Each structure stands twice: as structure tokens, then as C-alpha cells.
Amino acid sequence: MKKVKFRAVFMIVLVVLFLILIFFGKQIAPNDPYVSNLQAANEAPSAQYPFGTDNLGRCVLSRILAGGAASVYSAIFIVTAVFFTGTVIGLVAGYGGGWVDQVLMKITMVFQAFPGFILAVAIAGMLGPGLENAMISLMAMYWTSYARLSRSLVLQVKNETYIRAAIMCGAKKRHILFRHILPNIILPLMTAAVSDISNVVLSMAGLSFLGLGVQAPQAEWGLMISNGRQFLQTAPWAIIFPSAALFVSVVLFNLAGDCVRDAVNDGGGR
Amino acid sequence: MASDFILEVKNLEKVFRDRIGQGGRVEEDVAVKGVSFQIQRGECFGLIGESGSGKSTTAYMAAGLLKPSGGELLFHGTYMQMVFQDPMKALNPRRRVLDNICEGLIYRRDGRSKAEIREEAFKAMDLVQLDRGYADRFGRELSGGECQRATIARAILAHPELLICDEVTSALDVSVQAQIISLLEDLKNKLGLSYLFISHDIALVDSFCDRVAVMYQGKIVEMGKTRDIIENPKDAYTKRLIGSVLTL
Ligand SMILES: Nc1ncnc2c1ncn2[C@@H]1O[C@H](COP(=O)(O)OP(=O)(O)OP(=O)(O)O)[C@@H](O)[C@H]1O
Ligand SMILES: [Mg+2]
């Protein structure tokens, strides 16, 4: 119990630090991430450019710091949005039942019929490149799992004895939803959401890598990896460091998800 | 007083149609077929029968939690409450015990303030001999017997005229069983409750109920004064049921 709590606090501190670092990335950056210095193109790491420069002579470290917001904050925004919409859709389907359930689940199935990332690529391709369109397409890819999870959780608890007892006491539908069902299903959904942040960060980087997300010259990790590819032989740092940043954030949010899950299981009881 | 009866049940039926059998056909499970009985005010009416005989289904229909497939239900009172078969599942694990108990009154909106309801809930806890110290615990942090006391507190907080008890002791160990039964006796005298008392334990029904109905495969096979039935059973199934206890 104590160990779980300590780990949770530790992870929260790490995540918060990481988020602050990225939030002030542009201010912290040692150089202007958008100023190119062609004389210093593809330069190895040095005191002035700690992570080297890219093919246009821009500071890689500064671009990583500035690009974090597009990767991580947009991922958090996407996960928050799909968490809410998916959970509400699942609640309505599971608790409402009947034809409402059937219609909502058919819609979910249509979205799930495509392999997730292919669906996102298709929608982003249709909407055209850009950060907003990439976010819309990733929401379309990710909301279904929350709808399905929350529906199945609702189905598990909606016939529980304590809900029958509440009905006997005269509880209305809204009381049952907000006092009994939601508190008993929200933790597993939140666990899924925290672990999903890293998936979305990767998917976002993937879209940018394919040229469907953030557009040059804006800094974004996936895009930086994509650009760095051509100069892998001469300037490997331009691809290694953005990849490392991506890796660190993915690992961080995965571990945070595990922590939340452990904390939930620990306090979950029966 | 409108009627001597608090609850009248006439020809109650329940057919479950939610099981899919071979070949995708919807199977019909007749759980209750043509059950009729009446409970007088202040009476303790027992319902006994083996597992699967339809006791809980009858109770749920009487409580209004399950829609009957046929028959009539007449409740000549204002409030009815139910205590459930599995006490551990009858409290919301993620709400505090006091909030769970307060539910008995909180939805009624009869002008009682939250504070008044809490005060009454504490008194109900006293009445069921659940220490007030448990109020701030969560539902999942109580033992079975404590859970059952809390659910009884919630039920009596609603000032019901009829309390439906569905095998309230079968999930508890023997000494706790005895405590709960004496608590129910006590409440009967203090509050003038009527009971629909469901059990498969004949000795328990013998000590607690004025009249009893014996259920077998969804039907009532015999009904009468508890002592008469036990001393002089007419139905073959009742004889077997009583015989099995006597040989123990
Ligand atoms: N939702 C359901 N769908 C289909 N059949 C059901 C359902 N609920 C109960 N039944 C069936 O109805 C019959 C009566 O069940 P019920 O729960 O009323 O029995 P019981 O007398 O309370 O038994 P126990 O002593 O084990 O609690 C059983 O055969 C059961 O399988
Ligand atoms: Mg039962």
C-alpha cells in the first residue's frame, strides 16, 4: 500500500515536471528553434548546439523543446476529448439499452471495422494535412475503445444489488447514473486514458512522419524524425534525439498508466 | 384503515425470456406460476422453498423491481423496503456507509434537510446496533454482518410498513444470523413492521413467522399457520422438506 502510494507520487512529480518542461519549451530553448543558420547545417553536438543541428542548421534541442507541445499537449487534449465523448456514449448505450444501444454500438462497430491507424490516415488524408485535422482523425480512431469499455462496465454494474436498493428508495435515473454507476466505472476508464496518452503521442508522430500532421517549418517530433531520415548518415543526431524524446514520453506515460492502475487495484476492494 | 392486508398478491407469474437456447430459439423459463398470498398488517409472512423455487423472483416482483408477466399486486401502504440476499453487494462500495444509509430518505424530498436525514440515519444505526464509528467507512470496508445491519438501517430509515427480507441470513455465519434475527424481532415490536420473510431454513421460519407458504418449482404448494404446517404437513414436497430437517 505504502509502496504503491510512493510510486504514484513519484510518477506524478515526474509527469508534472515533464509537462512543465514542455510547456515552457520555447522559453527554455537555448536557441531560436526556427532560425536556420546554413553555415552550421548538420553540425555535431557542441556547446552552442547541445544536440547538434539539422540540415537547415536549426538547433535540434531547441526544436525538441518547442515541438513537445504539438506532440504531448495535443495528445492529452485528444485523450481528454475521446475519454469524455466515449464514456458518455458508452453510458448512454449501456444504461439506455434497447434501440439506442443498438444504434450506438453499430456506429462504434463501423469505426472499429478499420485498423485504427489506417482509419486515422484515411481521415487525415481526406481532411488535408495540419495539426487540427490530425487531431480530428486521431479522435475518430480513439473514441471507440472508451465507448466500448464504458458500456461494458455499465452493463456489469447496472444490475448490482445496491442499485436495486437505490431504486427501492426512489432514486431517479440521474441519481443512479451519477451516484452509483459513474463512481464505480470511472477509475478503469481513467487508467485506460492515462495509458493511452503514449499511444496517441506515437500516432500523432506517425501522422506527422507521413506528412499528414504538423507541417514544416513547425517543430514536431514525428516531423523532425521524418526530415532527419535523409541525413541519417551525415547527421544522425537530427533523428536520434527526437526519437529519444518520443521514447521518453511514451515510456513515461506508460509507467504513469501502470501506476494509476496499481493505485486503483489497491484501493478497489471488491 | 383501508384494508386489513398490507400486501395482496394474486396469480403472480414470471416468465423469463432472456435465455437463448439451441438453434437460437428464445427459451422460456417459468420462474413463478400463479402465486397468490396476502400479508396482514403487523404479520410476519414466511416464504420457504428450495433453491431455484422462485422465492427471490417473487420478492423482486412484490418490491416492484421486476415486472410481472401476469397477475396482480396490491400494496395498501405508502412505503415498502427490501433487504437483500447478498449483504456485501447491497451497499455501494464507493460511497460512505452513512451516505448509503441516507439513501432511505434522501430521494423523497419531503422537506427534511440533509442534516435531519443524517441525524435520523445515526438513530437508525443505533437501532440496528451498528456503531456510529462505521459511518465514514466505505461500503466495501464492512463485514457481511455489518453490511446487513447497514442495509437494514437504510431500509427502516424509509419508515416502511412492509419489509421484504430475502434470505437475509443465508450469507452470514450462525452467530451473526441469530443477532440479525433478534434485531428483526426487535424492529417488529418497536416499529410495527410487517414482513415478507424469505428463507430456506425451516427452523428460522418456525421461530419468526406467523404464517408460511411453501414454494416448489414456482408454485405455492401449501400455506397456513407455521406451526400447523410444520406439525401436520399435507403436501408431499412439504413433508420431504420438513423430514429432511428433522433427520438432521
Ligand atoms: N434473469 C433470469 N433469467 C432467466 N431465468 C432466471 C432469471 N432469474 C431467475 N431465473 C430462474 O428463475 C428460477 C427462480 O429463481 P429465484 O432466484 O427466484 O430462486 P430462489 O428461490 O430465490 O433461489 P435461492 O434460494 O437460490 O435464492 C430459477 O430457476 C432461476 O434459474
Ligand atoms: Mg433467492
Whole-number Å distance, alpha carbon B55 to ligand 1 midpoint, is 8
Whole-number Å distance, alpha carbon B90 to ligand 2 midpoint, is 14
pLDDT at residue B2 in the model = 59
Contact (Cβ atoms closer than 8 angstroms) between residue B114 and residue B107 = no
Query: For ligand 1, atom 31, which residue shows the shortest CA distance?
Result: B52
Query: For ligand 1, atom 18, which residue shows the shortest CA distance?
Result: B54
A98–chain B Cβ distance below 8 A for any pair: no
Q: What 3-state class would DSSP assign to B16?
A: strand
Which are the contacts of A160, defined by CB distance < 8 A and separation ≥ 6? A180, A184, B89
Which candidate from A160, A164, A180 shows the least CB-CB separation from B65? A164
Question: Which segment of A229-233, B89-93, B133-137 scores lowest on mean pLDDT?
Answer: A229-233
Residue that is written with C-alpha cell 490516415 in the block: A121
For the domain spanning A2-26+59-267, the CATH number is 1.10.3720.10
Q: Which long-range contacts (CB under 8 A, 24 or more apart) does A133-136 make?
A: A133/A212, A134/A74, A134/A204, A134/A207, A134/A208, A134/A212, A134/A213, A134/A214, A135/A74, A135/A77, A135/A78, A135/A204
pLDDT at residue B11 in the model = 94
Nearest to A176, CA basis, from A197, A187, A160: A160
A159–chain B Cβ distance below 8 A for any pair: no
Cross-strand pairs, B134: none
A2–chain B Cβ distance below 8 A for any pair: no
- Whether the predicted pLDDT of A267 surpasses 70: no
- Whether the predicted pLDDT of B245 surpasses 80: no
Asked if the Cβ–Cβ distance from B64 to A162 is below 8 Å, we say: no
Whole-number Å distance, alpha carbon B29 to ligand 1 midpoint, is 9
C-alpha torsion sign, points A250, A253, A256, A260: negative
- Whether the predicted pLDDT of A269 surpasses 50: no
pLDDT at residue A244 in the model = 93
Task: Give tens-digit pLDDT for A2-46.
Answer: 677 788 888 889 999 999 998 998 888 888 888 888 887 787 888
Task: Determine the residue of chain B that is closest to A164 in CA distance.
Answer: B65
pLDDT at residue B99 in the model = 93
pTM recorded for the entire structure: 0.81
pLDDT at residue A70 in the model = 82
- The domain ranges of chain A are 2-26+59-267
Residue that is written with C-alpha cell 495540419 in the block: A130
Task: Determine the residue of chain B that is closest to A180 in CA distance.
Answer: B92
- Whether the predicted pLDDT of B75 surpasses 70: yes
d(CA A249, CA B72): 64
Find the largest Cα–Cα distance for chain B.
Answer: 58
Percent of chain A clearing pLDDT 90 (strictly above): 44
How far is residue A123 from each of residues A39, A81, A120, A135, A138, measured CA to CA in Å? 40, 17, 5, 10, 9
Q: Are strands B5-20 and B26-40 parallel, antiparallel or unpaired?
A: antiparallel
Cross-strand pairs, B75: B7
Give, for B72, the enclosing helix (H) or strand (E).
Answer: strand B70-75
Mean pLDDT of chain B: 89
A166–chain B Cβ distance below 8 A for any pair: yes
Task: Specify the higher pLDDT residue, B58 or A232.
Answer: B58
